[in-house]
Amino acid sequence: MMQTEHAPAAAAPSDREAFVRMRQIVKRFGGLVAVNHVDLDLYAGECVGVLGHNGAGKTVLIKVLSGVYVPDEGSIEVHGKPVSFRTPHDAQAAGIETIHQSLALADNLDGPGNLFLGRELLTPWRTLDSRRMEYEAGNVIKRLNPNFKNILDPVLRMSGGQRQSVAIARALYFNARILIMDEPCAALGPAETRMVLETIKRLKAEGIGIFLISHEMHDVFEVCDRATVMKNGSVVGMVHMKDVTQDEVLQMIIQGKRPALAA
């Protein structure tokens, strides 16, 4: 297995508190070290790409942050406070939501039904408050996508970009300030991809912090401020997108070597 040196922690502004600070995270599965002493930071209003080939360790690292896996070593701080996540619910309670590639939507339910699935709003008589759920869902979904008119359609009949909007709206309604987006534009056409990228830009403008897992270099360079590249469970390096080219990042992914300007 190719060995890569441990990169230093990502350089970031010192005058503001990190939304997320992961330090020296290690995750093992038997004899396999899937994540090997990895550091990762996220600040308000920025999008950080987490890049690497399949098996690089990026998905395991993000699952540690989302509470799916408990790290074997290392520490996590959220908004400056140490946290210890044992379940995804713990991460959600800390304001971290994951938008999975599968989206985890119920095809037979409409937008409001999916947004409040498992967390339905009730009337004082303990019945479903459908009118309020429709109103609340409409507000948050249209904030993301002003042209979204068919929120009462079953999501099975929605476009890929609209389905992404529903999934993101579900996270934002429940006060997530940190989003993990796993391949949000996979299998989307050009128009729908544009919709999702514009949504990410709006979220950044609102101060939301986003981790983006993507294989699409064009998307990464359009919306990400920084990127951390992983290979064989270790960090190859952190780069600011303005300082590198797509070819240089691809070489980091493929060869596991940092360009001269990488931190």
Split into its structural domains, the chain has a count of 2
| pLDDT at residue 4 is higher than 50 | no
CATH number (domain holding residue 185): 3.40.50.300
Does one domain contain both 171 and 181? no
Which 3 state secondary structure label does DSSP give 21?
strand
Q: At what angle do helices 130-144 and 190-205 cross, to 10 degrees?
A: 100
Which 3 state secondary structure label does DSSP give 162?
helix
What pLDDT score does 94 carry?
A: 94
Q: Which residue type does 142 have?
A: K
Nearest to 200 by CA among 150, 213, 174: 213
Q: Which domain holds residue 206?
A: 16-95+177-257
What pLDDT score does 10 carry?
A: 39
Does one domain contain both 42 and 89? yes
**Quick count: other Cβ atoms within 10 Å of Cβ 154?**
16
Does one domain contain both 212 and 253? yes
Which 3 state secondary structure label does DSSP give 254?
helix
Q: Which residue type does 253 have?
A: I
Does one domain contain both 109 and 130? yes
On whether the pTM is more than 0.75, the answer is yes
Does one domain contain both 167 and 182? no
Has residue 65 been placed in a domain?
yes
Mean pLDDT score of the chain: 89
Does one domain contain both 183 and 251? yes
Has residue 50 been placed in a domain?
yes
Rounded to an integer, what distance in angstroms lies between the CA atom of residue 228 and that of residue 148?
Answer: 33
pLDDT digits (tens, 9 = 90+) for 173-209: 888 899 999 998 887 888 888 988 999 999 999 999 9
> Which of residues 143, 175, 207 is at a domain's end?
175
Which 3 state secondary structure label does DSSP give 3?
coil
| pLDDT at residue 138 is higher than 70 | yes
Has residue 202 been placed in a domain?
yes
Does one domain contain both 22 and 140? no
> Which of residues 175, 204, 229 is at a domain's end?
175
pLDDT digits (tens, 9 = 90+) for 38-72: 999 999 999 999 999 999 999 999 999 999 999 99
Has residue 125 been placed in a domain?
yes
Does one domain contain both 70 and 198? yes
- CA angle, 94 then 13 then 16, to 5°: 45
Has residue 7 been placed in a domain?
no
Does one domain contain both 40 and 166? no
Does one domain contain both 26 and 151? no
Rounded to an integer, what distance in angstroms lies between the CA atom of residue 175 and that of residue 153?
Answer: 25
Does one domain contain both 30 and 140? no
